[in-house]
Structure 1
Amino acid sequence: MLMTAELLLQYQRCQRRAFLDTHGDRSQRDTPSEFLLRLQQDKVIHHQNALAQQNHQQPDYYRGNWQAGAIATLELMQQGVERISQGVLLTNYLEKYTLLSRPDLLIKQPGNSSFGDWIYIPAQIELGKRPKLEYQIIAAYNAHVLEQIQGISPKSAWLFLRRPEIYTVDIARWTAQMQRSLNQCLEILEAELAPEVFISRQRCNLCRWYSQCYAIAKSQQHLSLIPGVTPNRYTQLQALNVVTLEALTQVNPSQLESLPGFDRQVAQKLVLQAQAVFENRPILLDTTDSISVSPVPLIELYFDIEAEPDLNLDYLLGVLVVNRQTGTETFYEFLAETPAQEETIWQQFLDLVHQYPTAPIYHFCSYEVDTVKRLGKLYHTPRQQIKTLLARFVDVYELTQTVALPVENYTLKAIARWLGFEWRDPHANGSHCIYWYDQWLASGDRTLLDAIVRYNEDDCYATRYVKDWLVDFIASSSSTDLQANCSQ
């Protein structure tokens, strides 16, 4: 069996993905999203730019003919070439496996090896901004294979990330963990059945096996679809033989409180969350952190942002003004058609919100708060002005945390869609907007900006839709509870 660094990398992210990449029917994979294609393109460009700064030599072989590539790479190493790109390293492992390593660069360093008074260290070119654990495990894997070729293990490896300085990986620190992961990965790849599904929204979003895994999880009512069930908590639930949704609804929360990863609040909320999903109904949580419901103000603002993280740019500040005095709803789009216009739209946003000095500003999650702080500091807005502005912000996501909803996650889309709200572009998301804005900058196609604005406006209306429902539900539930207590 051929074991590659890519398989080990995917194993770090998801055991099931490594199995499917080896044994799955690739025709059943999802079509890559626009955002995934953009990431792949960005990685290629980053890789090319990093290599352009290196005086490197590439072994001559046909891609896929790894034996020929290994021979050509070995010849360059024996010659003492300073930098070798796209090299191929092969070695046997435990007699029945072949390990394939293809570091982006092999870099010559002083030392003693089978080649002479020099050694090579591996280097990877990665799109990330920080040295993720998975990158360092792969660095240790490349170093292990390289050791078999040159007769000595390099003490370090390099990571070329999206930042000016080169990150140095301490190989000795990660070798034991790499060895465990390698052996576990090989064991899984030799199994007859794929590992159990576990849906993790952040890890699974860009995986092309997602639809296949999600369909299985949905048919099984898998506990990973319940918000709050993390991999560690799932392991603890399995130990109690709680492996179905119905079983979790019947657990006494006190059984969970002593388990690692649980406390009283987590245990109670998780059981109520399971009950909400199982019974398909919202449940008001009994928590001292509940947000009090104030009278509906006459004027409300709903705020949502679209950003391009790679440019560190917030290019669209959308505000929906709901005026109950006049019975009007007006959406304002403050759009930077070029990055240079960010300061202009920031001032336009400030001018608008200051027209309604007492109106609450509703948003979903913390990004809007963080952005106001960033833009205020960047464009020298007085601190007191920012402080006063942020005091008006109300996070609708925090309001959702007082209720257990029958949803798979507490994103704006999941909650709003459960309530019956739909976006005009059903398949659009924030990742699409990043891709569309980049395409707009490259092509000048105005329809791309129109799609982004439409999506942002729908986000503002969805925030309002969710907020209004939550306020009504919490008020009615609290009133019902009060009446029940008075009648006792």
Structure 2
Amino acid sequence: MLLTDALLLDYKRCQRRAFLNVYGNRELKDPERDFLLKLRQESHYHVEKVLLESFPDSQRPHTDLLDLKALAEATEALMRKGVSCIHQGVLLRKVSYQGHTISLLGTPHLLIKQPGQSKFGDWQYYSISIQLGRRPKPEYKLIAAYHADLLTSIQGVEPNFAQIILRRQNRTFVELDTWIPRMLETLTECISMLIKEQEPEVFISRQRCSLCHWHSYCYTIAQSQQHLSLVPGITPNRYESLQTLGVFTVEALASTSPHNLGELIGLEVASQLQQQAQSIIENKAFRKYNSHQYRPNIPSSSIELYFDIEAEPEQNLDYLLGVLLVDNVKNTQKFYPFLAENPEDEKLIWQEFLKLVTHYPHAPIFHFAEYEVETIKRLAYLYGTPIHQIYPILSRCVDLHQQVTQLLTLPVESYSLKSLANWIGFQWRDPGVSGDQCVCWYDQWVKTGDRQLLESILRYNEDDCKATYHLKNWMVKFLA
């Protein structure tokens, strides 16, 4: 059996994903999404940029070798030769576990020579991992420790450290005394699962699962089982607590005494989860049991603005500031798409946005979640907008996501705008499109100039604004 660093990374993120990558039916995998392809391309560019700027003289094992064993031998030959920097080296060793032989494979981005003793002479190597993330996540450190452990078996001495290079060339060192024991424990668990062919239970985690190529397959199973992970607020730890009480279904969650649940997860959380389960069973919205603690803040006005943004995170660019203007006196709607057709136009669309919202100084600005407010602050700082001009705008912003989560419980699987709006009957004109897809479309627009891509982005953003409008109206009627 071959266990790679990529498979170990999958196991760290999701045990079920690692299992399915080895034993799953590949015909059941989702087609690769454009956003994943974009991330992979950005990761490749990031690695190439780091190599060009910081390690231009790195050497590779012979590229004409395809056999892993031969590549590992070629890598060790470069180490024995004392090459200062090795790119795309292959680390390979065999271990025995319960009568099974396991080949452990690691492919660190770089192996760097440094002074010290090893079987090669008065030098040794440490590994560098180049990652696209902005912070040194635990899974990055785990894989760095995996590479260091393989390196120890090859050079005969443990490296003093391992290094991770993140975005903007930010570097962090990994404390191997801490992370190698953690890695070995995870590695043993992964090997045991794969040898025993024990398929882990499905558990849907919205952020972690959304980009996985097994998502549809696992989600179908979860739905057929009415799995508790589909209930908002059920985390893996809470799920384990519910299991110890014999709570395995939504119906059981709705009927269990909140006091019994409260002993394990706290009375407030237990009450929230129980009401969420009741809402799902009855397909009915409720005022949250503790909503008396919060005052509704959903103003009404003759003119109302509904605000939604499309952004390109890699470029730190907000390229579309969409505003739906609703005139409740004339019973009209008009969509204002402030679009930066070129990334350099961000300042221009910011000024156009300011002109519109200041023209209606008493109009509330409805949005969903915190990003729109944070973007107003960011753009104001970036382009030197006076504070006295920004504060009145911020004071008019109304976050409907905050209002929903404080006041209401709805029969949904997540409290995203799309999930909430779909439940109250609103449909996007382009089913299946997400903000991630718009990021890809905008990148393609910049490269190709295909205006159909822009039209698709504008249509999606306008629907986001209209969904916010419909959600606001529904909430006003329901809370009344």
Tell me if both proteins adopt one fold, taking TM over 0.5 as the criterion. Answer: yes
Amino acid at match of 2:369: C
The answer to whether residue 50 in structure 2 is matched with residue 50 in structure 1 is: yes
Match of 1:400 among 381, 401, 404: 404
The equivalent of 1:26 in structure 2 is 26
CA distance in 1, matches of 2:66, 2:20: 20
CA distance in 1, matches of 2:169, 2:193: 38
By how many angstroms is 1:338 displaced? 1.2
User: Relative to 1, partners in 2 of residues 1:63 and 1:392: Cα closer, same or farther, differing over 3 Å?
Assistant: farther
Amino acid at match of 1:37: L
CA distance in 2, matches of 1:413, 1:17: 26
User: Relative to 1, partners in 2 of residues 1:384 and 1:251: Cα closer, same or farther, differing over 3 Å?
Assistant: farther
The equivalent of 2:82 in structure 1 is 80
The equivalent of 2:203 in structure 1 is 198
Match of 1:68 among 67, 70, 73: 70
User: Relative to 1, partners in 2 of residues 1:294 and 1:88: Cα closer, same or farther, differing over 3 Å?
Assistant: closer
Residue 163 of structure 1 aligns to a residue in which SS? helix
Match of 2:363 among 347, 359, 362: 359
Amino acid at match of 2:152: E
Residue 127 of structure 2 aligns to a residue in which SS? strand
Match of 2:114 among 109, 114, 118: 109
CA distance in 1, matches of 2:114, 2:303: 67
The answer to whether residue 450 in structure 2 is matched with residue 445 in structure 1 is: yes
Higher mean C-alpha deviation, range 157-166 or range 434-443: 157-166
Match of 1:271 among 274, 277, 286: 274
Match of 1:388 among 382, 385, 392: 392
The equivalent of 1:215 in structure 2 is 220
Deviation readout 1:278-331 (Å, 9 max, x if unpaired): 221111112233442666321111000011111111111111111111111111
TM-score (norm 2): 0.96
Residue 41 of structure 2 aligns to a residue in which SS? helix
The equivalent of 1:282 in structure 2 is 285
Specify every segment of 5 or more residues in structure 2 that has no aligned partner in the other structure, as ranges. Answer: none
By how many angstroms is 1:384 displaced? 2.6
CA distance in 2, matches of 1:446, 1:6: 38
Amino acid at match of 2:283: N
CA distance in 1, matches of 2:299, 2:179: 57
By how many angstroms is 1:27 displaced? 2.1
Deviation readout 1:453-488 (Å, 9 max, x if unpaired): 11100000000111111111111xxxxxxxxxxxxx
User: Relative to 1, partners in 2 of residues 1:63 and 1:275: Cα closer, same or farther, differing over 3 Å?
Assistant: farther
Question: Mapping of 1:464-479 within 5 angstroms?
Answer: 464-475=469-480
User: Relative to 1, partners in 2 of residues 1:191 and 1:467: Cα closer, same or farther, differing over 3 Å?
Assistant: farther
CA distance in 2, matches of 1:263, 1:463: 33
Amino acid at match of 2:121: G
Deviation readout 1:21-67 (Å, 9 max, x if unpaired): 11111122100111111111111222222223321111115565111
CA distance in 2, matches of 1:226, 1:44: 37
Asked if the contact 1:308/1:434 (under 8 Å) is kept, the reply is yes
Higher mean C-alpha deviation, range 222-231 or range 436-445: 436-445
Match of 1:463 among 458, 461, 468: 468
CA distance in 2, matches of 1:339, 1:192: 50
The equivalent of 1:144 in structure 2 is 149
Match of 1:181 among 181, 186, 198: 186
Q: How many residues align?
A: 473
Match of 2:131 among 112, 126, 129: 126
Asked if the contact 1:155/1:172 (under 8 Å) is kept, the reply is no
Higher mean C-alpha deviation, range 42-51 or range 203-212: 42-51
CA distance in 1, matches of 2:198, 2:139: 25
Amino acid at match of 2:423: W
Deviation readout 1:405-449 (Å, 9 max, x if unpaired): 111000000111111211111121110111111111111111111
CA distance in 2, matches of 1:387, 1:32: 43
Deviation readout 1:109-148 (Å, 9 max, x if unpaired): 1100000000010111111121111000000000001100
Asked if the contact 1:90/1:100 (under 8 Å) is kept, the reply is yes
By how many angstroms is 1:367 displaced? 0.2
Residue 94 of structure 1 aligns to a residue in which SS? strand
Amino acid at match of 1:471: V
Amino acid at match of 1:283: F
Residue 263 of structure 2 aligns to a residue in which SS? coil
Match of 1:377 among 374, 378, 381: 381
Asked if the contact 2:323/2:337 (under 8 Å) is kept, the reply is yes
CA distance in 2, matches of 1:356, 1:140: 57
Match of 1:239 among 239, 244, 247: 244
Deviation readout 1:198-254 (Å, 9 max, x if unpaired): 101100111000010000000000000000001111111111111111110111212
Residue 343 of structure 1 aligns to a residue in which SS? helix
The equivalent of 1:309 in structure 2 is 313
Asked if the contact 1:306/1:315 (under 8 Å) is kept, the reply is yes
Asked if the contact 1:88/1:102 (under 8 Å) is kept, the reply is yes
CA distance in 2, matches of 1:464, 1:46: 40
The equivalent of 1:10 in structure 2 is 10
CA distance in 2, matches of 1:160, 1:256: 44
CA distance in 2, matches of 1:294, 1:230: 30
Match of 2:92 among 61, 85, 90: 90
Specify every segment of 5 or more residues in structure 1 that has no aligned partner in the other structure, as ranges. Answer: 476-488
By how many angstroms is 1:102 displaced? 1.1
The alignment yields a C-alpha RMSD, in angstroms, of: 1.4
Residue 271 of structure 1 aligns to a residue in which SS? helix
CA distance in 2, matches of 1:31, 1:273: 33
By how many angstroms is 1:183 displaced? 0.9
CA distance in 2, matches of 1:245, 1:63: 55
